[in-house]
Structure 1
Amino acid sequence: MDSKIIVLDDDPTGSQTVHSCLLLTRWDVDTLREALADAAPLFFVLTNTRGMSAERAAAVTREVCRNLKQALKGTRINPILVSRSDSTLRGHYPVETDVIGEELGPFDAHFLVPAFFEGGRVTRDSVHYLKVDGREVPVHETEFARDSIFGYRHSHLPDYVEEKTRGRIPAARVERILLADLRRGVLARLLALQDNICAVVDAEAPEDLASFASDIRMAVSQGRRFLFRSAASLLTALAQLPPQPVAPEAMGRFTRQGRPGAVIVGSHVAKSSRQLAHLLAEPGVTDVEVDVGRLPAERATVLANVLKQVERGFAAGQTAVVYTSRQERQFPDQAARLAFGEEVSGLLMDVVRNLPAEIGFLISKGGITSNDVLSDALCLRTARVLGQVAPGCSVVRCPAGHPRFPDLPVVIFPGNVGEDETLAVVYRRFAEIKD
């Protein structure tokens, strides 16, 4: 049997540690078969479920699984299934893993592996940490735990599991795979797991996940069936890819004819706002703010004004930085927040569709924003990852036959990734501005 890592990604940022693989924005049976036949050891199905209600997320996940089951028929592929989500523990857990288990199970175990080294996330003694200004902070003490949709109270992963499953999986029943276990080897323990037991996995360095992945591959080769809920770093360990073909510092070679580009900033986390401030201080950029407070009533006027500023800047050789106004809005409920988010994203996608056709590059800041750019604004059925331009920031390219933006390089830049200056660094690389 051949192995293939199949990733259901709840936004398009899970490819942020790999290269040369396909991202699918469609999941019909034919597209899935195309990805299964691809030479890369893994591929991603971009479900965008983090931007949906739990009910809609479950329905989309179920559709993908049923189509995947059909696409796998007649193949000799033993898939390794990963539900990739945010390394700060925001997402529809256990909704998505429950559906995958129902449709593609039974599994012997499902694992939570949120470590994401490129983003400063590590897990030690089953506690998940985020590095902030060089200090490790338990994630429940960060802004991410206060997310109005995906908030949580626990950084200790067994307690997080109990909280999110509303007691269905008690913390005491969660298997804990600690650093010392990984370094001794856990193959025998993996082979003993059964009944889709939940296990949480430590990791504070790539070597920890490399060891874990090696034991996983051995267990899978012996017939064990596992499901993973993980961040991106586990995928690096499972895929065992060589270094990416083009170095991050050389990604500017993909800029079309050295022309200015465009940057779309939809993410609202504090880190994104700090990164935006650094970018706006760079040479060669023009500031285009979208006043979301005027939506939806004045949508047509807002869109026309934004496009006029973008075109004026491009004509002057400037890269337009289009960003949503930064003030925090309050909503009566989750449904209202999601609906407004879709309204804002719809406007940003109209901006992308109408960017000057000659732009040299496009940087999309924010996971859900990036998903909508690829699937909606650019109408890409599939895209291949070229690699990363900075840690955690993937680059894909529009196909040569794209009707408006042939060969356009597009950066997928997650909201919670990078240092304060990273967005500016990525811009400089594509604009080929030397330090």
Structure 2
Amino acid sequence: MTKPKIIVLDDDPTGSQTVHSCLLLMQWDVETLRLGLADAAPIFFILTNTRALTPEKAASVTREVCRNLKQAIALEAIHDFLVVSRSDSTLRGHYPIETDVIAEELGPFDAHFLTPAFFEGGRITRESIHYLKVNGVDTPVHETEFARDSVFGYHHSYLPAYVEEKTQGQIPASSVERFLLSDIRSGVLERLMHLHDNQCGVVDGETQADLNQFAADVLTAAAQGKRFLFRSAASLLTALAALPPQAIAPEDMAAYVRNGKPGAVIVGSHVQKTTEQLQQLLQEPDTVGVEIAVAHLLEQTGDPKAALLTRAVQQVHQIHAAGKTPVVYTSRQELTFEDAQIRLNFGESVSALLMDILRHLPEDIGFLISKGGITSNDTLSKGLALRTASLLGQVLPGVSMVRTPAEHPQFPNLPVVLFPGNVGDASALATVYRRLRH
């Protein structure tokens, strides 16, 4: 059975957090997409960053990617492929906008599946209810801070009800196919073969073995002509790609650090977990905090962005010259905005400032850690202006490391850690730092 090429449209750059040795594409012109399709790895990622966009812009970007993909697939003569709309394991994102556009442009599909389990991050799905482990307790996601997100909030952890809510009743909860643990563990191939007309299905998963079993049945059905689309977190990708262990073990990834030099850390995410991780990181020897008071960006007089940039760059270079690692982070207080659009615009201003700081980092840093999904996407596509990046693997479960190309004009062969905002325990960021500094 020939394995299909797995094409992942990733709404931020952290969906590759369970795989390795493949390409991340920051651009989606036809020629760049052909690089991904022609690559030897079974999987590649197109970083659309749509979670940071308005619904209209997210739909537009997704449509552009799909139309270019259609051309690239024809030019590369690819016959078997699976499409994954990779999104957040806490259910935040533009669903069903993105899957609807993909179905219009690359369909028809027999079914689309919601598979939000992400085991490395403590997210499981049982009896169609999606849980997040909070302080060791499986908590329905609608009871967590993520459900109160001002842009992507929701009221249901029971996935059929979530689907009904997000599709505004176009897909009633009662019509959603539920693939429960007992079903998956006894095999669902026959059920998969009977799906048609883009049927919506939701998939349980408590362990990686569950999704491995589901993926095996999916691949068998696909080989027999069934066409499926996935709205998924990262753990299903592990199962579909079925990669061997990564080349260098997570605890030994200091081997990629350039010349054993100190690095730099940029923290944009402001979820509670990131704040806890930041506090522990700043207690590590040889780290020095550089706080960016982002509320100043709202000032109407002068050029607050230029003033913040100048001050931050001066501090960063002083810290680096002293042989220490600067930790650039946005101020932690939660600001309130009149509406979601104003909040998104402010977020873009903050990220633009962080990227200006990144472009002014000392060119001989040994490594870069980018904390936050949107921050990490901007780090790759804007701050480092990459077309593609090579994914080396995971430095911690759910935390990826990529490397810039050897010909990068400013930071050649720089290892860059992409650290999602909501992954890891309180010490995780400090652990990654220690692994790169040892």
One fold, TM greater than 0.5?
yes
Determine what percentage of the aligned residue pairs are the same residue: 66
1:5-59 deviation line (CA, Å, top 9, x unaligned): 0000000000000000100000000011111010000000000000000000000
Note the 1:406-425 alignment, pairs <5 A: 406-425=412-431
Letter in structure 2 aligned against 1:352: L
Partner of 2:333: 327
Letter in structure 1 aligned against 2:339: D
Per-residue deviation at 1:431?
1.1
Per-residue deviation at 1:391?
0.6
Letter in structure 2 aligned against 1:303: L
Q: 2:361 aligns with which of 344, 355, 366?
A: 355
1:264-299 deviation line (CA, Å, top 9, x unaligned): 000010000000000000000111000001115411
CA distance, structure 1, for counterparts of residue 281 and residue 298 of structure 2: 28
Conserved? CA contact 1:265–1:364, under 8 Å: yes
CA distance, structure 2, for counterparts of residue 391 and residue 184 of structure 1: 28
Q: 1:166 aligns with which of 165, 168, 186?
A: 168
Letter in structure 1 aligned against 2:316: V
Per-residue deviation at 1:77?
2.9
Letter in structure 2 aligned against 1:170: P
Conserved? CA contact 1:111–1:199, under 8 Å: yes
1:380-429 deviation line (CA, Å, top 9, x unaligned): 10001100000100000011111010111000000000000000000011
Note the 1:391-410 alignment, pairs <5 A: 391-410=397-416
Partner of 1:379: 385
1:347-399 deviation line (CA, Å, top 9, x unaligned): 00000011000000000000000000000010110001100000100000011
SS across alignment from 1:73: helix
CA distance, structure 2, for counterparts of residue 31 and residue 407 of structure 1: 20
Partner of 2:177: 175
Partner of 2:63: 62
Partner of 1:253: 255
Letter in structure 2 aligned against 1:104: L
1:47 aligns with 2:48: yes
Q: 2:314 aligns with which of 300, 308, 311?
A: 308
1:314-373 deviation line (CA, Å, top 9, x unaligned): 000010000000000000011100000000000000000110000000000000000000
Per-residue deviation at 1:88?
0.1
CA distance, structure 2, for counterparts of residue 147 and residue 76 of structure 1: 39
Partner of 1:11: 12
Conserved? CA contact 2:3–2:219, under 8 Å: no
CA RMSD of aligned residues (A): 0.7
1:337 aligns with 2:364: no
Per-residue deviation at 1:2?
5.6
SS across alignment from 1:274: helix
Q: Which structure 1 residue ranges, 4+ long, deviate > 6 Å from structure 2? A: none
Conserved? CA contact 1:2–1:76, under 8 Å: no
Letter in structure 2 aligned against 1:63: E
Letter in structure 1 aligned against 2:393: G
Note the 1:34-433 alignment, pairs <5 A: 34-74=35-75, 75-297=77-299, 298-432=304-438
Structure 2 segments unaligned to the other structure (5+ residues): none
Conserved? CA contact 1:26–1:382, under 8 Å: yes
CA distance, structure 1, for counterparts of residue 341 and residue 429 of structure 2: 31
Per-residue deviation at 1:154?
0.1
SS across alignment from 1:372: helix
SS across alignment from 1:71: helix
SS across alignment from 2:353: helix
TM-score (norm 1): 0.99
CA distance, structure 2, for counterparts of residue 347 and residue 327 of structure 1: 17
Letter in structure 2 aligned against 1:293: A
CA distance, structure 1, for counterparts of residue 382 and residue 192 of structure 2: 41
Letter in structure 2 aligned against 1:5: I
Letter in structure 2 aligned against 1:7: V
CA distance, structure 2, for counterparts of residue 296 and residue 350 of structure 1: 18
TM-score (norm 2): 0.98
Per-residue deviation at 1:78?
1.2
SS across alignment from 2:209: helix
CA distance, structure 2, for counterparts of residue 267 and residue 121 of structure 1: 19
CA distance, structure 1, for counterparts of residue 267 and residue 249 of structure 2: 25
